[in-house]
Structure 1
Amino acid sequence: MTLLTSAEALWATIVRTHNPITIDLLGTLLIQLLFWWTPCTIFLTLDTLLPSFSARHKLQPPPKQPSSSEILHSIHICLRNQLLVLILHATLLLLLLSSSHHPPAIRIDPRFPSAKESTTHILASILLREILFYASHRALHWGPLYRRFHKTHHRFTAPVAFASQYAHPVEHIVANVLPILLPPAILRAHILTMWAFLALQLVETSTVHSGYDFFGGAARKHDRHHERFDVYFGGIGLLDWALGTDERERLERRKKE
């Protein structure tokens, strides 16, 4: 029996022997732990474990770095936001599973999704998430919405990984959660595909808020967003390039004029 066959047999057993709500909630919490809390914690401990390496790669100078109390406060807010989402998630699942007319959009199928299906759904979800996140994020920079909701997130002018979910509850749901949750739901993706997509997005958001210049400048772009406010509203940069909010593209256009 191959490793893949064994894994699929284990997954089929889990689906047969556990409630769909339990699978969905516990699986999603595990993904959060592995792909958000773990990288955030690693980034946070670099100062202590590898101080010279950390100092070389920090994007912002020490005077601009948040204090320990500010980081602890951000962790508290992140826990509050995740608890709120967990309660809403559980409530929605209970309502959907109690209604035969509205089955859950995410499929909990005992069979693994095909590689083609998973790849297609993940790529489509990345594009849909970019549209939803860019639109909601840019809207949150409109004056009244910024002052009421988004200003909380921009408290960190030198972002750290735990600031990635440091947000007003309304912003967290509208700009962080829904752009990730809706694309797989619209596509009726397999829950394993949804978890893979969620893992990618959690690693991405912790990385771009890390404050370090790793991973091809992804964090540098978001760092500039926290500094300038009018550039880099998207995740993968596609809409920033298309709509003129990519700082480098903007400079190139000015040079040509």
Structure 2
Amino acid sequence: MSTKESVKMKAYNFVTSIKTAAFVVGSAIIIFAALRNSLTWHAQHFWGASGDLWEEQWRLILHITGEDEFLLYVVGPFLASFIPFWSCSIPLLIMDITKKPNFLYQYKIQQDKNIDLKWKEVRHGILIVLRNQVISFMTICGFYPLMKWRGLVQHGPELPTFQWVLVELCVFVLIEELLFYYAHRLLHHRQVYKRVHKIHHEWTAPICISSIYCHPIEAFFSNYAPVFCGPLVYGSHLSTVYLWVVIATVNTINAHSGYHFPGFPSNEAHDFHHLKFTEMFGVLGILDRLHNTDMHFRASKHYERHQTYFSLTPIKQLVPDPSQNVKQAKCPTDTVETPHTSDGF
């Protein structure tokens, strides 16, 4: 490729990545706003909640903790991650082990993998996850004095406006994408991969607990630090931090669940990353598009299935793979089993 063509390709990828960012973040804002408004309406009309629903819940948290800063700034964010993680993971683990109920198991992306998932494997994974959740607690302990040093300790009873929370969440998402993408690319460097990241890729077909099944170094630099850097930089109200931690936790479980459920954000991209190892390093796909680390993904059937859909029919039936019936040329990544084949990015 000539220099001129290379420049054109980079410019095209940059423009496309900006469009992707606008679409992904914009769609997320619309969906989040709709869910929040719907939940508020139902709470007020059917459960008798007052118009100050969310401020009342926050005041309740302040009352329970006695506004103790350690409970609010360390224990609170940890529980905002720990409780959603296991609430979502336990039902998914039951499905992975029992393959029941069938009407939900049919949404499994790689049904030819983890066929004989044993409790012994799951137990080992759970122990690794619990160790990394201890690291999560230690990470939060480390970020708390940084927030105090910057004068960012905000937990008053008056909540920020919903519009301002949306702005902050958009900033958090973009900061996480930036930090996670490059940290993840570094983890796929030959020397780093074999010492650190290889543990995470023991799951070529991810399951929910594989989201934080990793080396302690990866747990800190790739999983936890990118999440807490946004609030640290922005100086957010603590209630916004709680909300962001819940969203980030649920999102990473969805990305690693191995199930493409109707109405859920597509996790085909990260599932493809676990399957092929060599592409789709980001969360949103923005920087993957910019750096052209999604080339084979965009040429695959997984890309056509990479959508949020609302039919009860599994996406693999709505967008069938013709390779099951017609022999096609092999994808260049089909024979790649490990990503540590070069010394750089």
TM range (shorter): 0.7 to 0.9
**Other-structure match for 2:335:** none
1:58 aligns with 2:108: yes
Partner in structure 2 of residue 125 of structure 1: 172
The structure 2 residue matched to 1:244, chosen from 283, 292, 297, is 292
Superposition TM-score, scaled by structure 1 size: 0.85
Q: Which residue of 2 aligns with 1:44?
A: 93
Q: Match for 1:115 among 159, 162, 173?
A: 162
Instruction: State the structure with more CA Rg.
Output: 2
Matched, 1:213 2:260: yes
Aligned-residue sequence identity (percent) comes to 29
- Which of 174, 179, 198 matches 2:221? 174
How far apart are the structure 2 equivalents of 1:122 and 1:175?
19
Q: Structure 2 CA distance, aligned partners of 1:115 and 1:163?
A: 33
2:133 and 2:150 map into 1 onto residues whose CA distance is: 24
* Structure 1: 5+ residue stretches without partners: 253-257
Alignment gaps of 5+ in structure 2: 1-47, 304-345
In structure 1, C-alpha distance between the alignment counterparts of 2:260 and 2:53, rounded to whole Å: 40
Indicate if the aligned counterparts of 2:139 and 2:225 stay in contact, CA closer than 8 A: no
Relative to the length of structure 2, the TM-score reads 0.65
Displacement, 1:109? Answer: 2.5
- How do residues 176-215 of structure 1 correspond to structure 2 at under 5 angstroms? 176-214=223-261
Aligned residue-pair number? 248
SS in 1 for 2:267: helix
SS at match of 1:122: helix
Report if the CA contact (8 A) 2:132-2:212 is conserved.
Answer: yes
Greater percentage in helix: 1
The alignment partner of 1:3 has SS state of coil
Residue 39 of structure 1: SS of its match in structure 2? helix
Deviation at 1:250, TM superposition (A): 5.8
Report the counterpart of residue 121 of structure 2 in structure 1: 70
1:23 aligns with one of 72, 86, 97: 72
User: 1:78 corresponds to which letter in structure 2?
Assistant: V
Query: Aligned residue for 2:135?
Result: 84
The structural deviation recorded for 1:4 is 4.3
Aligned-residue offset at 1:161: 0.3
Task: State the SS of the aligned residue for 1:87.
Answer: helix
Task: Note closer, same or farther for the CA distance 1:22–1:232 as it changes in structure 2 (3 Å cut).
Answer: same
Q: Which moved more, 1:52-61 or 1:77-86?
A: 52-61
- CA displacement 1:176-195 (0-9 Å, x = unmatched): 00110101110101111111
Alignment RMSD: 2.6
Alpha-carbon distance change, 52 to 137 in structure 1, aligned in 2, over 3 angstroms: same
1:134 maps onto 2:181 in alignment: yes
Alpha-carbon distance between aligned partners in 1 of 2:51 and 2:74, rounded to the nearest angstrom = 24
Instruction: From 211, 229, 235, give the equivalent of 2:283.
Output: 235
The Cα of 1:156 is off from its aligned counterpart by 0.8
Q: CA shift at 1:62, angstroms? A: 4.6
Superposed displacement of residue 72, structure 1: 1.3
Q: Distance in 2 between matches of 1:120 and 1:92?
A: 22
| Partner SS, residue 18 of structure 1 | coil
The answer to whether the 8 A contact 2:92-2:208 is kept is yes
The 8 Å contact of residues 149 and 171 in structure 1, kept in 2 or not, is answered as: yes
Higher relative contact order (CA 8 A, sep 6+): 1
One-letter amino acid matched to 1:229: F
Q: Is the 8 A contact 1:209 1:219 kept in 2?
A: yes
